[in-house]
């Protein structure tokens, strides 16, 4: 069992494993999206206060949740790479950043479009929205810092430090709706209490969250493949693979 675990540190093994997993992930993602969208758009009720705009929740909440989740993955894998000097961990960390930034952007955009018909404004500077904007800046800063170094190893390590320093933002985002009673609503799904949401809505929401997760894994593996090819370009297996596959 432990050999399997240590293989995770080998770029070559991860590349081949990704190749095997990707077709499955792609199909699962597609199916989950189709189911989730149908449930959300057609088979779930309106909200008694917000009307049909509540349907934006089915893309806003997963995007926001994933944005925070991906940041934590990025920070932890960066930390693992930094402490134990495992380059595969850095590859994962760097590959997370663009997806995470996209999710953050989508959460902000959909939130803004949801806010206009329901709250009457596209933006409000309350704690959750502001700290989510900070999350976007952290992602962009991570990518900018990584690009600024010529030596890739230094870039990896510096970016990992930045990701770890910024991780304090995640609890701030999560708890901000409890600490400040302002415009953004509190959490409706909690581990310990029964959710206060209509079951049809809950089904759609959970399906979409899982769909977004699978999307993240799919896109992450694709990005990791490209990153591995670039970083391992001097190794024998990459040379063989590239010359063989393009010769066919």
Partner 1 sequence: MYFNSIGEFIEMGGHGFYIWLSYAIVLGLMAFYYIFSKRLAKKQEQTLLKFYRRMNSRTETSNNVQTSLGEEK
Partner 2 sequence: MSQLTSLIKREISVVLKSQSEFVYPLAFFVIVTSLFPLAVTPDPVQLAFLAPGIIWVAALLSILLSLNSFYQADFEEGGLEQLLLAGVSGENIVIAKSVANWIVTGLPLVIVAPLIGVLFNMDWQANWVAMLSLFLGTPTLCFIGSIGMCLTLGLRNGGVLLTLLILPLFIPVLIFGTSAVQAASTALNYNGQLAILGALLVLTIMLAPFAGSAAMKISID
Q: Which residues are near partner 1 by CB under 8 A?
A: 41-46, 51-53, 55-56, 59-60, 63, 98-99, 102, 105-106, 109-110, 113-114, 116-117, 215, 218-219, 222-223, 225-226, 229-230, 233, 238-239, 242-243, 245-246
Helix (H, G, I), strand (E, B) or coil at 198: coil
Whole-angstrom Cα distance, residue 205 to residue 133? 23
Site for partner 2 contains 164 (CB under 8 A): yes
Query: Pick from 92, 138, 201, 204: which binds partner 2 (CB under 8 A)?
Result: 138
Residue with Cβ nearer partner 2 (35 or 162) = 162
The DSSP line for 169-214 is HHHHHHHHHHHS-SSS---S--SSS---S-HHHHHHHHHHHHHHHH
Tell me how far apart the alpha carbons of residues 220 and 4 are, in angstroms, rounded to a whole number.
Answer: 20
**Residue with smaller CB distance to partner 1, 77 or 82:** 77
167 half-sphere exposure, CB direction, 13 A CA radius: 17
User: Which of partner 1, partner 2, none does residue 90 bind to, with CB < 5 to 8 Å depending on kind?
Assistant: none
* Minimum gap (Å) between residue 176 Cβ and partner 2: 11
Would you tell me how many other CB atoms lie within 10 Å of the CB of residue 111?
20
How many residues sit in the footprint of partner 2 (CB under 8 A)? 21
Write the burial class of residue 150 (CB in 10 Å: 0-12 exposed, 13-18 middle, 19+ buried).
Answer: exposed
Token readout for 163 is 């990701």
- Asked whether the beta carbons of 69 and 202 are under 8 A apart, the reply is no
Query: Which of 118/182 has CB closer to partner 1?
Result: 118
Residues in region 82-121 near partner 2 by CB under 8 A: 82
Summarize as ranges the residues that interact with partner 2 (CB under 8 A).
82, 130, 134, 137-138, 140-141, 144-145, 148-149, 154, 157-158, 161-162, 164-166, 169, 172
């Amino acid at each position: 069992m432990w050999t399997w675990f240590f293989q995770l540190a080998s770029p070559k093994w991860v590349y081949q494993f990704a190749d095997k997993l990707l077709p499955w992930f792609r199909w699962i993602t597609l199916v989950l999206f189709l189911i989730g969208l149908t449930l959300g758009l057609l088979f779930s009720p309106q909200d008694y206060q917000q009307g049909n705009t509540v349907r934006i929740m089915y893309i806003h909440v997963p995007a926001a949740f994933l944005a925070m989740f991906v940041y934590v993955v990025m920070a932890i894998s960066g930390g693992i790479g930094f402490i134990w000097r495992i380059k595969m961990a850095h590859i994962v960390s760097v590959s997370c950043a663009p997806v995470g930034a996209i999710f953050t952007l989508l959460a902000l955009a959909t939130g803004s479009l949801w806010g206009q018909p329901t709250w009457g404004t596209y933006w409000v500077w309350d704690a959750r929205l502001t700290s989510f904007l900070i999350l976007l800046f952290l992602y962009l800063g991570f990518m900018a810092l990584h690009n600024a170094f010529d030596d890739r190893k230094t870039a990896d390590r510096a970016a990992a430090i930045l990701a770890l320093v910024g991780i304090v933002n995640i609890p701030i985002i999560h708890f901000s709706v409890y600490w400040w009673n302002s415009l953004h609503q509190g959490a409706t799904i909690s581990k310990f209490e029964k959710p206060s949401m209509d079951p049809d809505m809950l089904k759609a929401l959970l399906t979409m969250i899982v769909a977004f997760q699978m999307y993240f894994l799919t896109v992450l593996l694709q990005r990791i493949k490209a990153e591995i090819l670039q970083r391992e370009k001097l190794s024998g297996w990459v040379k063989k693979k590239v010359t063989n596959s393009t010769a066919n």
